[in-house]
Amino acid sequence: MANPSTYYLVTGGAGFIGSHLIDLLLADPATKEVRVLDNFSSGRQEHLAHHEHDPRLKIHTVELLELDKVVPHFLGVDQVFHLAANPDARWGIENTRLDLEQETIVTYNVLEAMRRQKVPRIVFSSSGTVYGDVGTTVTHEKLGPALPVSLYGAGKVASEGLISAFCATFGLRAIIFRFGNIVGERTTHGVMYDFIRQLAKNPADLKVLGNGHQAKPYVYVRDLAAGLMFGQERCRALPPSQFDVFNLAPDGATSVRFIATELLRQLGFSDRTKIHYGEATQGWPGDVAQSRMDSSKLRAAGFPIPRSSDEAVSFALSQILQWLSGRTSQLDDLRLPR
């Protein structure tokens, strides 16, 4: 069914995932406007540059911590995608206020702005980290209590709680997605980003945090963006005050060792680079070394994730290498290793 004319607002729309979502929103002729609110802390103009001639895309440099400045931007919006956040769980180790502000307070501000401007629907990017460190237990949406082991995960739990409360109290509708690990071109953080940057500096050695047996489910970013589009259709169909939660990750998991060896294989560096594994089972404190997520609820709802985790990793690596081969910006030292 075609989407009715819609005004979208995407927080964090200049980010890795947000920019892929915007590609899909702008590909839909029913889209009237896509309003991006981003402070460009990790977002990049380059991610949206290919849309510069589309008048439906309105990019606003906004700090979401400043509620009074945020509220006017929500006027006339039908559907929010809330993606802005601290993107990297490791950063919360150095700065313990980061996730409190970038997750909990920013999510509160988004919900409060929606309440004040009577915006009815939100799709939220949560994470499998909410389940905490439960080893290889396959997590499903009703598994609880949610006891995360990182401040990032704690911020996601708090945000989910706020969404539940705003829905019940003020009649909002929401879809919460708990993502696995998202990979693909325009990456700005994460394991593939780290490995490629290392190899660009020194192709002889690749250092892995932890013993490389950490294994998590991976999703290719454009598949995830398609899932977000599915989510907004589900959101529209919800009655007021209702919300629903879905894992968005394939069954199974991919090890860091697979990612390292697959990257070297695709680069043709298998005989050139020595991989140095650490000894710890975790990559860093708060890292959930093992994660398995049950995606049967999403599948039953009508969105089967199209690739297995290993397939997503291999495909994402090929897309990243292709993207890097044509990328002109090297502000972040992310470039094709030679």
Ligand X SMILES: NC(=O)c1ccc[n+]([C@@H]2O[C@H](COP(=O)([O-])OP(=O)(O)OC[C@H]3O[C@@H](n4cnc5c(N)ncnc54)[C@H](O)[C@@H]3O)[C@@H](O)[C@H]2O)c1
Smallest distance from ligand X to CB 3, Å: 22
In the complex with ligand X, the residue whose CB is nearer, 19 or 31, is: 19
In the complex with ligand X, the residue whose CB is nearer, 273 or 315, is: 315
In the complex with ligand X, the residue whose CB is nearer, 79 or 273, is: 79
Nearest in space to 212 (alpha carbons), one of 290, 300, 129: 290
Tokens 């968005």 identify what position?
Answer: 248
User: 50 exposed, middle or buried (CB, 10 Å; 0-12, 13-18, 19+)?
Assistant: exposed
Query: Helix (H, G, I), strand (E, B), or coil: what is residue 38?
Result: strand
Q: In whole angstroms, give the CA distance from residue 84 to residue 104.
A: 11
List alpha helices for the chain, DSSP H: 16-27, 67-70, 91-94, 98-99, 106-117, 151-170, 191-201, 221-237, 256-267, 296-301, 309-326
Smallest distance from ligand X to CB 320, Å: 13
Smallest distance from ligand X to CB 182, Å: 4
Beta-carbon neighbour count of residue 313 at 10 Å?
25
In the complex with ligand X, the residue whose CB is nearer, 84 or 260, is: 84
In the complex with ligand X, the residue whose CB is nearer, 152 or 166, is: 152
Structure tokens belonging to residue 200:
């660009």
In the complex with ligand X, the residue whose CB is nearer, 20 or 234, is: 20
Smallest distance from ligand X to CB 293, Å: 11
139 contacts 31 by C-beta, under 8 angstroms: no
Q: In whole angstroms, give the CA distance from residue 163 to residue 173.
A: 9
Q: In whole angstroms, give the CA distance from residue 304 to residue 104.
A: 30
Smallest distance from ligand X to CB 210, Å: 17
267 contacts 199 by C-beta, under 8 angstroms: yes
Q: What are the b/e assignments for 268-297, b being 16+ CB within 10 Å?
A: eeeeebebebeeeebbeebbbbbbbbbbee
Smallest distance from ligand X to CB 216, Å: 9
30 contacts 4 by C-beta, under 8 angstroms: yes
Smallest distance from ligand X to CB 72, Å: 15
Smallest distance from ligand X to CB 213, Å: 19
In the complex with ligand X, the residue whose CB is nearer, 12 or 132, is: 12
Q: Which residues bind ligand X (CB under 6 A)?
A: 12, 14-18, 37-43, 62-65, 83-85, 87, 102, 106, 125, 127, 179, 181-182, 188, 190
User: 253 exposed, middle or buried (CB, 10 Å; 0-12, 13-18, 19+)?
Assistant: buried
In the complex with ligand X, the residue whose CB is nearer, 42 or 79, is: 42
